[in-house]
Amino acid sequence: MTRPELIIILKSVIADETGIAVAEIADTDTFFNLGLDSVSCIFLMDKVEKILKVELNPLYFFDYPSIDTYADFLLENVISHGN
C-alpha cells in the first residue's frame, strides 16, 4: 500500500465518522481538530483495522495525532510488518 492510498482510506473513514467532505480534510489535520474525541477514535480505529486487516492500539491516535503522521507510522511500523 502506498502513502497516498492510506491517506485516502483514513480521510474516507474520517469523513464517514464526522460528515466532513473528504476534499475538506487536509493531510495535516489532527483528529481532534476534525471533531474526533477518544470515543470516536475507537470507532475509527475499528474501521481502519477491518479495512487494513491489522491490529491497532488506540494510543496511536494520541502519539500520532494528525492524518499524515498516523499514516507514516502505520506504513513504517504496522502495515509493512503485517502486525
E strands along 1-83, which residues?
none
Query: Three-class SS of residue 48?
Result: helix
Is the per-residue pLDDT at 76 higher than 80? yes
Q: Is 16 a residue whose pLDDT tops 70?
A: yes
Confidence of residue 81 (pLDDT cuts 50, 70, 90): low
Those residues with Cβ within 8 angstroms of residue 65's Cβ, 6 or more apart along the chain or in another chain: 30, 31, 32
Top-level class of domain 3-79: mainly alpha
pTM: predicted TM-score of the whole model, two decimal places: 0.90
pLDDT of residue 83: 43
Q: Where do we find the cell 467532505?
A: 21
Amino acid at site 6: L
For the chain, the structural domain boundaries read: 3-79
State the average pLDDT for the chain: 92
Tell me if residue 66 falls in helix, strand or coil.
Answer: strand
